[in-house]
């Protein structure tokens, strides 16, 4: 018999609250605001749930893409028998190949439509990539800096030791602790670079 575990809303909140306490302790801002634990936890849960939902959605989308890719590969193998129907060929090549097989193409509209659809889909993909942030990126460049500013009453930032060195400070400690809670590993340099690149 499978073991079924269920947790009350209070138990789930307390689990997240333990994580929030560790984040606040690791951030440790000198002369900074002391966040209200319950309010901070509630905001942190909301952010994490949104990110985790987006990550899950991406996983489903990637799995669907992989399935579609596999189906296309199978279809492509079958299409070797009628090679001139492959959309990756240019229209002239298709016509030439068809004529060599003694097949007459009555309408060019079908092939023009295929090529147009390919171009439209590629343009759509580019636009989607430009406007959609990955959940991990959204957390670093938007959600967690906003959470930090709201509850610690300071703008998120970082510092470096004299003479260089890795980014450090309460902002970096906060970001790393939040990401660790979700199992997302990013170095201090990667965090700073992501935020800097996003501001360009």
Listed by start position, the domains of the chain span 41-60+133-200
Instruction: Count Cα atoms within 13 angstroms, Cβ side, for 8.
Output: 3
Q: What is the pLDDT of residue 33?
A: 75
Q: What is the mean pLDDT of each run of 10 residues along the chain (200 residues)?
A: 55 84 82 82 89 84 81 64 47 58 56 53 50 81 90 88 84 91 90 87
**Cα separations (Å) of 98 from 80, 152, 175?**
13, 70, 60
Q: What is the pTM of this model?
A: 0.60
Distance of CA 13 to the CA centre of its chain: 26
**So what's the pLDDT on residue 193?**
93
Return the closest-CA partner of residue 27 out of 117, 149, 126.
Answer: 149
Distance CA 148, CA 200 (A): 21
């Amino acid at each position: 018999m499978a073991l079924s575990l269920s947790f009350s809303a209070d138990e789930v909140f307390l689990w997240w609250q333990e994580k929030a306490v560790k984040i606040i302790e690791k951030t440790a801002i000198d002369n900074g605001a002391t966040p209200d634990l319950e309010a901070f936890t509630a905001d942190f849960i909301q952010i994490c749930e949104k990110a985790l939902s987006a990550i899950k959605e991406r996983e489903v989308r990637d799995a669907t893409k992989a399935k579609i890719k596999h189906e296309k590969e199978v279809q492509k193998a079958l299409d070797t028998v009628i090679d001139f129907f492959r959309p990756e060929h240019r229209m002239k090549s298709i016509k030439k190949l068809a004529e060599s097989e003694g097949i007459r193409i009555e309408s060019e509209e079908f092939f023009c439509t295929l090529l147009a659809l390919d171009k439209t889909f590629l343009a759509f993909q580019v636009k989607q990539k430009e406007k959609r942030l990955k959940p991990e990126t959204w957390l670093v460049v938007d959600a967690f800096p906003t959470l930090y500013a709201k509850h610690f009453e300071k703008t998120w930032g970082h510092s470096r030791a004299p003479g260089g060195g890795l980014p450090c400070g309460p902002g970096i400690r906060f970001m790393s602790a939040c990401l660790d809670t979700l199992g997302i590993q990013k170095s201090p340099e990667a965090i700073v670079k992501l935020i800097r690149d996003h501001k360009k």
